[in-house]
Structure 1
Amino acid sequence: MFFWRLMILHFPHIIVRGLWIHDFTTYGFVLSNSRKPTQSQKLPSPFEATTLLGWIFLLISYLLMGRSSVDSTSGFSG
């Protein structure tokens, strides 16, 4: 129970850090694309990979939050 509450407390911080990293990598890809236009074909693959990892992380986090809320309500009622 303590682990789930800790995850809920740190959830906004993880989201903010993830968004900052996502913006930073996007800006880096734009800079590298403007510097070397020949590598424009190689850029979408890591960008899609980071986006996919971000969506997977969000899905897992939402599932964990849902389970923790169910556990906390059952624990309080029990």
Structure 2
Amino acid sequence: MTIRHTCAEDLGVTLLDPAGKAYPLKYSGGSPCTAWSGARTFSVPGASSPAGGKWQLRATDYGPGDIGVLDAWSLTL
């Protein structure tokens, strides 16, 4: 995924499989704030869902007063 955000520690990122099961990729929290600018790759060990169907990515900003943009994401199964 490619994100531009002023504070990576504010972000929580979760992958949702076609059945709705959540796979946390990144938890929010920590300090100090560091910028996230560019691509990062995550692995989901133990994912047991069928590959077919609609997968979703949920990126949540838990911090106030800053901004960010999800530029792109892709999924390789």
TM-score, normalised relative to structure 1: 0.22
Higher helix fraction (1 or 2): 1
TM-score, normalised relative to structure 2: 0.23
Larger radius of gyration: 1
